[in-house]
Chains A and B, each alone.
Chain A
Amino acid sequence: MSTITSGRQQEMIGQDHPVIAPGHNFISVTEKIASIVLSRRTPFGWVIGATITFVMVMMLLYTITYLVLTGIGIWGNNIPVAWAFDIINFVWWIGIGHAGTLISAILLLFRQDWRTSINRAAEAMTLFAVACAGLFPLFHVGRPWLAYWLFPYPNTMGMWPQFRSPLMWDVFAVSTYGTVSLLFWFTGLIPDLATMRDQARHPLVKKIYGVLAMGWRGSARHWHRYETAYLILAGLSTPLVLSVHTVVSFDFAVSILPGWHTTIFPPYFVAGAIYSGFAMVLTLLIPIRKFYGLEDMITLRHMNQMGKVMLATGLIVAYGYLMEAFIGWYAGGYEWFMIRNRMFGPYAWSYWLLILCNIITPQLLWSRRVRENMLVLFIVSIIINVGMWLERFVIIVTSLYRDFLPSSWGMYAPRLWDFTMFFGTIGFFLFMMFLFIRLLPMIPIFEVRMLLPQSRVQSKAEAAAHD
Chain B
Amino acid sequence: MPQLFRPSANSIARISIFGAVFIIASAIFLVIAFQRSSYITKAYVEVEQPVQFSHKHHVGDDGIDCRYCHMSVEVSASAGMPSTQTCMNCHSQIWADSPYLEPVRESWRTGRPLEWNRVHDLPDFVYFNHSIHVNKGIGCSTCHGRVDLMPVVWQVASLQMEWCLQCHRAPEKFVRPRDQIFNMEWQPGPDQEEKGRELVKAYDIKSPAVLTSCSTCHR
A residues contacting B by CB (< 8 A) are: 154-159, 197, 203, 206-207, 210, 214-215
Q: Which residue of A lies closest to B31 (CB)?
A: A153
Q: 9 additional contacts, CB 8 Å, given A158-B162, A207-B5, A215-B13? A: A155-B35, A156-B35, A156-B36, A156-B162, A157-B160, A157-B161, A159-B161, A210-B4, A214-B13
Please give, as numbers and ranges, the residues of chain B lying within 8 Å of A203 by CB-CB distance. 4
Complex: A158 Cα to B35 Cα, angstroms: 13
A154-B32, A155-B35 given; A197·B4 CB < 8 A: yes
A302 CB to nearest B CB, Å: 35
User: In B166-193, which residues have CB < 8 Å from any A CB?
Assistant: 166
Complex contacts, A154 vs chain B, CB 8 Å: 32
What is the bound-complex CA distance between A460 and B32, given in angstroms?
66
Confirm or deny: B132 has a beta carbon within 8 angstroms of a beta carbon on chain A: no
Q: A154-B32, A156-B35, A156-B36 are in contact. Are A210 and B5 (CB under 8 A)?
A: yes
Across the interface, which residues of B come within 8 angstroms of A159, CB to CB? 161
> In whole angstroms, how far apart are the Cα atoms of A155 and B165 in the complex?
12
For residue B158, which residues in chain A have a CB less than 8 angstroms away from its CB? 156
Q: How far is the CA of A159 from the CA of B166 in the complex (A)?
A: 12
Q: Dominant SS at the B interface?
A: helix
Q: Once bound together, how far apart are the Cα atoms of A157 and B4, in whole Å? A: 51
Which chain A residue shows the least CB distance to B10? A215
CA distance A154 to B36 in the complex (A): 12
* Min distance, Cβ A203 to any Cβ of chain B, angstroms: 8
B window 4-35: CB within 8 A of A: 4-5, 13, 32, 35
8 smallest beta-carbon distances between A and B, as pairs = A158-B162, A156-B160, A157-B161, A158-B165, A210-B4, A156-B162, A156-B35, A158-B161
Q: How far is the CB of A190 from chain B (nearest CB, A)?
A: 14
Contacts of A215 in B (CB 8 A): 13
Interface size class of B (residues with CB under 8 A): 10 to 19
Q: How far is the CB of A213 from chain B (nearest CB, A)?
A: 10
- For the complex, give the distance between the alpha carbons of A197 and B1 in Å: 13
Across the interface, name the chain A residue whose C-beta is closest to B168: A158
A155 to B28, CA, bound (A): 12
CB distance from B44 to the nearest CB of A (A): 16
For the complex, what is the distance from the CA of A197 to the CA of B162, rounded to whole Å?
53
Known A154-B32, A155-B35, A156-B36; judge A207-B161 contact (CB<8 A).
Answer: no
Q: How far is the CA of A401 from the CA of B19 in the complex (A)?
A: 53
Which residue, A154, A158, A203, A215, has most C-beta atoms of chain B within 10 A? A158
Residue of B nearest to A156 (CB): B160
Q: How far is the CB of B93 from chain A (nearest CB, A)?
A: 47
Contact B5 A156 (CB under 8 A): no
With both beta carbons as reference points, the residue of chain A lying nearest to B12 in the complex is identified as A211
Residue of chain B at shortest CB distance from A154: B32
Which residue of A is nearest B169, CB measured?
Answer: A158
Expressed in whole angstroms, the Cα–Cα distance for A157 and B35 within the complex equals: 11
Q: Which of A157, A206, A210, A214 contacts B162 (CB 8 A)?
A: A157
A/B interface sample: 22 pairs, CB < 8 A: A154-B32, A155-B35, A156-B36, A156-B158, A156-B160, A156-B162, A157-B161, A157-B162, A158-B161, A158-B162, A158-B165, A158-B166, A159-B161, A197-B4, A203-B4, A206-B4, A207-B4, A207-B5, A210-B4, A210-B5, A214-B13, A215-B13
A244 to B13, CA, bound (A): 34
| Distance in angstroms between the alpha carbons of A154 and B4 in the assembled complex | 45
A198 CB, min distance to chain B CBs, angstroms: 9
Residues of B within 8 A of A157 (CB): 160-162
Identify the closest chain B residue to A198 (Cβ): B4
In the docked arrangement, what's the CA distance between A206 and B36, Å?
47
| B36: A residues at CB distance < 8 A | 156
**Would you give the shortest CB distance from A214 to chain B, in whole angstroms?**
8
Cα of A203 to Cα of B4 in the assembled complex, Å: 8
Residues of B contacting A158 with CB < 8 Å?
A: 161-162, 165-166
CB distance from A250 to the nearest CB of B (A): 25
Contacts of A155 in B (CB 8 A): 35, 162
* Nearest B residue to A215, CB-CB: B13
Q: How far does the alpha carbon of A197 sit from the alpha carbon of B5 in the complex, in Å? A: 12
The answer for the CA separation of A208 and B186 in the assembled complex, in Å, is: 68
Residues of A within 8 A of B35 (CB): 155-156
- Which residue of chain A lies nearest to B35 when distances are taken between CB atoms in the complex? A156
- The closest CB in chain A to the CB of B164 belongs to A158
Chain A residues lying within 8 Å of B5, measured Cβ to Cβ, are 207, 210
Closest residue on chain B to residue A197 by CB atoms: B4
Docked Cα-Cα span, A157 to B161, in Å, equals: 4
With the chains together, A197 CA to B13 CA distance in Å?
17
> Which residues of A sit under 8 angstroms from B32, Cβ to Cβ?
154
From residue B211, how far is it (CB to closest CB) to chain A in Å? 13
- B35, B162, B165: most-surrounded residue (chain A CB, <10 A): B162
| Nearest B residue (CB) for A207 | B4
- Min C-beta distance of B20 to chain A, whole Å: 14
- Complex CA gap A155/B161 in Å reads 9
- CA gap between A206 and B32 in the complex, in Å: 41
B188 to A: closest C-beta gap in Å: 22
**Binary contact track B26-70/A, C-beta < 8 Å → 1, others 0:** 000000100110000000000000000000000000000000000
| Alpha-carbon separation in the docked complex, A134 to B35 (Å) | 27
Q: Which residues of A contact B165 (CB under 8 A)?
A: 158
A197 contact set on B, CB distance < 8 A: 4
A210–B2 alpha-carbon span in the complex (Å): 14
Name the residue on A nearest B162 (C-beta).
Answer: A158
